[in-house]
Amino acid sequence: MKGTLKKLGVAVAASALALTSLSVPAKAADAKTTLTFAETRVGGVGIKQVEPPWLNSGSLTQGAMFRALFKAGPDMTTVKPDLASGYKVSKDGKTVTITLKSGLKWSDGQAIDADDVIWSMNSALRVTKINANYTTSFKLIDGASAVTAANKVNMSGLTAKGNEITIKLGAPQPLLIPILAQFIILPKHSLENEDLLRLDTSKFWLNPVTSGPFKVGTMSPDNFITLVPNANFEGPKPKIQEINVVSSAALLADARSGKIDYFITQDADTIRGMKAVNTFKSYQTSGAPFHRYWVFNLTDANNPLKNVKAREALKYGIDWVNIVKAAYPHGKVINSGVPSGLPFHLKSIPTYKYDVAKAKALLAEAKFDFSKTVRLRHYHVGPADLIFMSAVAQQMQALGMKVELTRFVGDATTELYTNKNYDMALKGLSTFDVSEWFGEYSNANFAKILGAQPKYAELNAQLATAVTLKQRAKALTALQELEQEDLYKLPTYLLPAYVFVSKRIAGAPTKYGPWLYLYENNFLNWTLS
């Protein structure tokens, strides 16, 4: 027996060593040409694959590997050629012609052609994980409604002749080109036999065929990705020869010790802490604001906030300015879906002012039932979010309300629109265009908590097809007025992101566009010292 136990001990030790010697091939990195990028967007542990670019596409990793037809400037409105050399819009705005550059190649040597573009745009309507920007936009193309995952029918309004792609729209769509500047074209030849419904988990993402200046060199799931130059890229050769994509366990400490060179974050404490790190430069990102706002479950007759006056009381009964400042020092309190400072913001909307007496008067006017408990929910998990939520709960309690605050246990979509076990919930939305914010009021999900909203639907249709600035201003003014009248959503704050760039990087831009979107960042000319 003694012998057996001893053997057992030896076996345990041996297997520990055997397991730990599983190795990952990699070569020694040259600090002068290797950039380490901390991927901050993916929640939780590590990196599992190259993030499929059809949901969000703004990370440095995706920008280095994938390309769209056009490349946006940091302002997101002007576009430059990328895979396409140019485009033309017909006079009535209903026909768009795009010319593809010729001689382009995928990283595996195959030609990039119009078929890839047509396949990609049709597939976007078949996959399950897709950014609403693309589906909303592509559904305006003729014949889009016929495309589903169950068939092989393609959009009749999307055709190609040689390098010329023609898009026919039911109505003029001013956002199509900026959206196409975000939409990544994927290689048809590698993906056409994949199950599109589960495209985001395909093995393809472990070593994707790319169109950009880089491709995957080493993929170590859960740990890191190493990107190396793509020899088939037609543009100038990048000065950086290797990109390590890691997921930092502690951004501040890793940045200070020089383990990472570049990252983006919204985390208030990290942003504050980075001020003391003088080896980095910081920039606030612009465009595509991150909205945080309250949604109310108004189909529930028992919701104590069903009366609009009760919701209005929240504007004044909670010290939004100071709470936001405490939880997110860089956050900005907003009072409208079109935040102040942006074009078409309605200046007549009063800003939130902490005024308990006014709040109490409004609650009295609403005949607020203080015996009912307000079920307060959120799904964000960051420490700052917890700080924010508990401060709000405390101040609601100070108004005399009973409050029950918990995080949604299930996934946010189910909890918000199906289970609906809440009275008010904090939601987030990153809007490429302000139409997304107002689009929520009339979409299918919100109908489950608000009921049908034909008024919003009509105004949203006007906004979507507004070609002139005057038409746009008119639609947005009407929408903002309606929003204030109904208070179905209570706009609360914007959460900016910050880019941190190591000073050893030269040639990096001084102006950064929105976090989750692709734009020209001059990456090919970055150098390291």
Partner 1 sequence: MIEKPPSTAKLMISNFVRNTTGMIGLAIVFLVVTSSIFAVQISGYDPNMFDGANTSLPPSTTHLMGTDQLGQDVFSRVLYGGRNSILIGVLASFLGNLIGTVLGAIAGYVRGKFDTILIRLSELVMTFPQLVLVLIFVTFLGQGVANVIFIFAITGWMTTFRLVRSEFMSLREEAFVEADRAFGFSSKRIIFRHLLPNTMSPIVVAFTINTAIYIIAEAGLSFLGLGVPVTTPTWGNLLAAAQAPVVVEQYWWLWVFPAAAIVVFVTGVNFIGDGLRDVLDPRSRTQVKEASFGSTLKQKIFGSRKRNA
Partner 2 sequence: MLAFIIRRIAIVIPMALAISAIIFFASRLSPIDPLNSLISPDAAADPTNLAILKERLGFNDPIFVQYFNWLTEMFKGNFGYSIQTGQPISEILALRMPATLELILSALVISTILALAIGLVAGANRGGFTDKASRALAAVGISVPDFFIGLALLNILAYRLNWLPTGQRISPGQVTFFDRLPHLILPVATLSIAMLAVLIRYTRNSVLDTLNRDFVKTARSKGLPEWKVMWSHVFRNSLGPVMVILAFRLPLLVGGSVLVETVFQWPGIGSTVVAAVTVSDFPVIMVVSLLIAVAILFASFLVDIVKSILDPRVRLGATTE
262-291 residues in contact with partner 1 (CB under 8 A) are 267, 269-270, 272-273
Query: Least distance in Å: CB of 17 to partner 2?
Result: 7
Query: Least distance in Å: CB of 433 to partner 2?
Result: 13
Query: Least distance in Å: CB of 414 to partner 1?
Result: 13
Query: Least distance in Å: CB of 12 to partner 2?
Result: 6
CA 425 to CA 446: how far, in whole Å?
Answer: 13
Question: Which residue reads 């090919």 in tokens?
Answer: 524
Question: Which residue reads 């880019």 in tokens?
Answer: 499
244 or 285: whose CB is closer to partner 2? 244
- 406 touching partner 1, by CB under 8 A: yes
Selected binder of partner 1 within 76, 112, 209, 391 (CB under 8 A): 391
- 356 touching partner 1, by CB under 8 A: no
- 431 touching partner 1, by CB under 8 A: no
CA 251 to CA 499: how far, in whole Å?
Answer: 12
The structure tokens listed for 53 are 């670019």
Would you call 207 helix, strand, or coil by DSSP? Answer: coil
Would you call 113 helix, strand, or coil by DSSP? Answer: coil
Site map (CB under 8 A) of partner 1, residues 236-265, x = contact:
-------------xxxxx------------
Per the DSSP assignment, residues forming a β-bridge with 70 are 81
Q: Which does 390 bind (CB under 5 to 8 A by kind): partner 2, partner 1, none?
A: partner 1
Pairing of strands 158-161, 164-168: antiparallel
111 or 250: whose CB is closer to partner 2? 250
289 or 317: whose CB is closer to partner 2? 289
Size of the site for partner 1 (CB under 8 A): 35
Q: Of 61-69, 178-186, 299-307, 387-395, which part binds partner 1 (CB under 8 A)?
A: 387-395
Distances in Å between the Cα of 406 and the Cα atoms of 155, 376, 385, 401 are 45, 7, 12, 16
171 or 250: whose CB is closer to partner 2? 250
Pairing of strands 242-246, 224-229: antiparallel
With both helix axes pointing from N to C terminus, report the angle between 308-317 and 356-365 in degrees, rounded to the nearest 10: 170
Q: Which does 273 bind (CB under 5 to 8 A by kind): partner 1, partner 2, none?
A: partner 1
Task: Name the DSSP class of 515.
Answer: T
CA 43 to CA 45: how far, in whole Å?
Answer: 7
169 or 255: whose CB is closer to partner 2? 255
The structure tokens listed for 458 are 């009509």
* Secondary structure element (H or E) that encloses residue 342, with its range: none
- 401 touching partner 1, by CB under 8 A: no
- 386 touching partner 1, by CB under 8 A: yes
